[in-house]
Amino acid sequence: MEKKYTCRMLSWGDAYTHAEEVAQKISNAGYVPDHIIGITRGGWVPAVLLSDLLGVKDLLSVRVEHWGMTAEKDAKAVLTHPLQTDLAGKKILLVDDLTDTGDSMALALGEIKKHNAAEVRTATLIHKKQSSIEPDYYARKTGEWEWIILPWNINEDLLHLADKAADGKKLSVGGTQRELKKKYGLAVDKKILESVLKRTGKIWVR
């Protein structure tokens, strides 16, 4: 039986507003990183936004894989693309889109420490209270666990959730929209949903 959970979607405007709030908190704290390191894939867009907002040009990445399909966690976080740069004496800002279990950030922090950074602080747009790690800077903290759909992951998440909501039935776009609301509390604009289904070759009965 599928575990029950709710889903919420963030717009590009929401994400940018969150990034601005995080950047302001970092500036207020007087922290000036030499490098920003994004945890890809999810943390890459927030890392780029913070790079621009903070005026930090040196942008690096590490890749950690932890989630399989939407809201279905892999057994263990795995570092697939480690750092290739010596960080000796450097101040680092490690960025992800959100903290969920905290495993991805913990793994990335461990990798950065191997490269002799002088100081590392962490930032996310959203912090889930269940995470084992609380970032130094974030814009929002969630209460009960929910799956948050970020705008840079909308196709993958919506397609998978639509498949699960349809449960093998041939639903119209409107029917799929209603099932997403019913099963996951997810309100999706019909035009956005139809666009995703068309683009991924999954358009159903109208």
**Tokens at 89, concatenated:** 């004496």
Residue 171 Cα to chain centre, angstroms: 29
Q: Does domain 15-143 have CATH number 3.40.50.720?
A: no
* Residue 76's pLDDT band (cuts 50, 70, 90): low
Kindly tell me the sign of the dihedral angle through the C-alpha atoms of 8, 69, 125, 132.
Answer: positive
Side-chain-facing half-sphere of 166: CA atoms under 13 Å:
20
Ramachandran bin of 122, using left for φ above 0, alpha for ψ from -120 to 50, beta for the remaining angles: beta
pTM of the model: 0.86
Nearest residue to 139 (alpha-carbon basis) of 25, 48, 32: 25
Question: Has residue 1 got a pLDDT over 50?
Answer: no
Confidence tier at 26 by pLDDT (50, 70, 90): very high
Q: Is the pLDDT of residue 68 over 60?
A: no
Q: Is it the case that residue 70 has pLDDT exceeding 70?
A: no
For residues 34 and 36, give the distance between their C-alpha atoms in angstroms, rounded to a whole number: 7
| Digit-coded pLDDT (tens) for 153-176 | 998 899 889 888 888 777 788 888
Other C-beta atoms closer than 10 Å to the C-beta of 7 total 21
pLDDT at residue 186, rounded to an integer: 93
What's the pLDDT tens digit per position in 169-204? Answer: 777 888 889 999 999 999 999 999 988 888 766 665
